Structure 1
């Protein structure tokens, strides 16, 4: 099996860590807010048997360069294009999780969908905040998001507390073992708190409804949303992206907690779009 890890320079002095494993039709996995390639280990193991499977650490995440420059999703979309170009990847399925979906939609905003085969978008609304709470699918109430930014993401202890609470309350459905929670928090802390705060605000104030609609009209698209969002997310997406498939599974980290079921869902989608 072809297996390669590389650092790809996206601008002078800034390199992204990329794993490129297997052969076949390419899929590209993009982690969410402050997380790393490691969260997708079960997807890499499964899909690299039949696909060229690429997983990347965005800038200031994981093993990529920590930088004060470009910690926003406009830049992340450009970075993705540079990685795809460097690896000579065309006609890929892009799989974004959480804020990684913003990277995918920003790519579509800048470069269109001509070089994309299909999209899998994991548990992220195209617009994070709305005054239509209860009607629109959003990340959460505006006051709660503001409190998270103000109270937690301006010092290291706050970042640890924020991710720990989010992991146990939103990301998984079962009780985490102590070592599992420590691992999840450790992944996030590879991004310094002052960069995490910037990414958090950049993500919350994004609006990619137009790109979500355009993408689902142009190429096969599937959303996989956490079960706790289903009541709001499913009708919202049915209206905004009526051509997209929508599945529900687990919590925010469903591809880690329920990896076999998640991989089965994605496998069916990929097979249906050959």
Structure 2
């Protein structure tokens, strides 16, 4: 299977790393907060056999240009538009993970829902914070989110400690080996802490409920959510996006920990929508 790696200039001096593998209908994977295209290795290997599979390092992530401006999800949505235009990708399936879902929703806000074939949204509410946090599906309690920003994303050690705790407590459901934990943390640390703080605040204060509701009425939409907050997420999504399909699997990093099951779920969705 041939793999092509390239860099797409989204504005003068700022390039995004893009990897393409396979041919067929395009499926585009967008990683989450400070993570890189490498997290989707198992998905690329699997889906590139049947699809044109594209993974992207967002601005200031991974092998893309580190820049002190544009580290917000409005800009990330614009960047995605430019990448897909440069690659001549039409009507893709967009797969966002975590804050990568915000990039997907922002892309829809800017480009319109007619520009995509279908949506897969991995474990991210369209609005991270709520005063009704006992009822709504949110990223976490307000005090916890404030503490993460104030106490951890102030230096590299804080970012390292934050990701280490998040990986062990939220991302997976088993004990990580030291090698696995090191790899996860090093993924995040490719984005400097001062940029991570900008992305964190941008993500927490985003509100894409309108896009989430409208898109689920117009195109096939699948949410894959972690087990630990499914009790809140399912009724929330049933009210906001009743036409969307919902699957529950593992922790926040389920497509890595439970890659075979995840690929089965996603593959079934892609086949159903192709047949429909």
Q: TM-score range by the shorter chain?
A: over 0.9
Instruction: Give 5+ residue unaligned stretches, structure 1.
Output: none
| 1:144-223 pair list within 5 angstroms | 144-223=144-223
Match of 1:61 in 2: 61
**Offset of 1:134 from its aligned partner?**
1.8
Give, in whole Å, the separation in 2 of the partners of 1:148 and 1:209: 24
SS in 1 for 2:228: helix
Residues in 1 aligned to 2:83 and 2:170: alpha-carbon distance in whole angstroms: 31
Q: Which residue of 2 aligns with 1:76?
A: 76
The answer to whether the Cα contact below 8 Å between 1:2 and 1:23 also exists between their aligned partners in 2 is no
The match for 2:136 is 136
**Equivalent-residue separation in structure 2 for 1:239 and 1:54 (angstroms):** 32
User: Stretches of 4+ moved more than 2 A in 1?
Assistant: none
| Aligned equivalents of 2:242, 2:2: Cα separation in 1 | 38
Cα RMSD, aligned residues only: 0.5
CA distances 1:163-203 after superposition (whole Å, capped 9, x unpaired): 00000000000000010000000000000000000000000
> Which residues of structure 2 form unaligned runs of 5+?
none
| CA distance in 2 between partners of 1:244 and 1:167 (Å) | 28
State how far apart, in whole Å, the 1-side matches of 2:190 and 2:17 are. Answer: 13
Matches within 5 A, 1:242-257: 242-257=242-257
Match of 2:270 in 1: 270
- In 2, distance between residues paired with 1:204 and 1:97? 15
Q: CA deviation at 1:114?
A: 1.1
Q: CA deviation at 1:225?
A: 0.3
Secondary structure at the aligned position of 1:132 is classed as coil
How far the C-alpha of 1:133 sits from its partner, in A, is: 1.2
State TM-score, norm by structure 2: 0.99
